[in-house]
Structure 1
Amino acid sequence: MRPHWRFEDLEIWRLAQALAVKLHTVAEKLDQRRCYRYAEQLRAAGLSVTNNIAEGS
């Protein structure tokens, strides 16, 4: 039987999660400068990386 593991245990997923947090912080600063569309793209990109890793696991 194959051992059970979670994608959250993958080092690459944890690094991607940390990147997503940093991108979210940058996006908040862009929101303050009224760069809403760019901020939203950064948030989406950060989430996309972690989501794609989870889907592929």
Structure 2
Amino acid sequence: MATVKKFEDLEIWQEARRLSTAIIAISNETNLKSDFRLRSQIKASSGSVMDNIAEGFERNGNLEFRQFLSIAKGSAGESRSQLYRVFDNNYIDKDKFELLVSDYEKLSGKINNFITYLNNNEFKGTKFKQL
């Protein structure tokens, strides 16, 4: 695994950012913009994925990082569920829906794999280094 010095280096954060940007575009360019509650919910959950990855990374400890990754994974599931509501209300077409759901499923898998990696890693984080 390559050395990661900042959360922006993480592939999972980059992918979460890309998906959040796609959700924001949908919320601005479709009739979803008039469904204020659903629009707000899906924008918040998609942003929460990348934000929790970043916050966990900045905690400098694997235990807290894993907890925040778990929250990020939950937010990815929440976003995926909300995409069903977006699709069911005809705000996006089937192709866009299936692509985004698939991308969120892949992201959830990558987050889960990263949690597993951290669980099996002896390095506990920089906050636990002895001076």
**Where on the TM-score scale, by shorter chain, does this alignment land: which range?**
0.7 to 0.9
CA drift at 1:4: 6.9
Structure 1: tracts of 5 or more residues without a match: none
Letter in 1 for 2:13: W
Tell which has more relative contact order, 1 or 2 (C-alpha 8 A, sep 6+).
1
The residue that corresponds to 2:23 in the other structure is 23
CA drift at 1:46: 1.4
The residue that corresponds to 2:97 in the other structure is none
Moved beyond 6 Å, runs of 4+: none
Q: Deviations over 1:1-57 (max 9, x none)?
A: xx77000000000000000001111211211xx211111111101110011001111
TM-score calculated relative to the size of structure 2: 0.38
| Cα pair 1:16 1:50 within 8 Å, conserved | yes
State how 1:1-57 maps to structure 2 within 5 Å: 5-28=5-28, 29=30, 30-31=32-33, 34-57=34-57
Q: What is the CA RMSD across the aligned residues, in angstroms? A: 1.5
Structure 2: tracts of 5 or more residues without a match: 58-131
For the pair shown, the structure with the greater C-alpha radius of gyration is: 2
In the aligned structure 1, how far is the partner of 2:41 from the partner of 2:23?
10
In the aligned structure 1, how far is the partner of 2:44 from the partner of 2:35?
15
TM-score calculated relative to the size of structure 1: 0.82
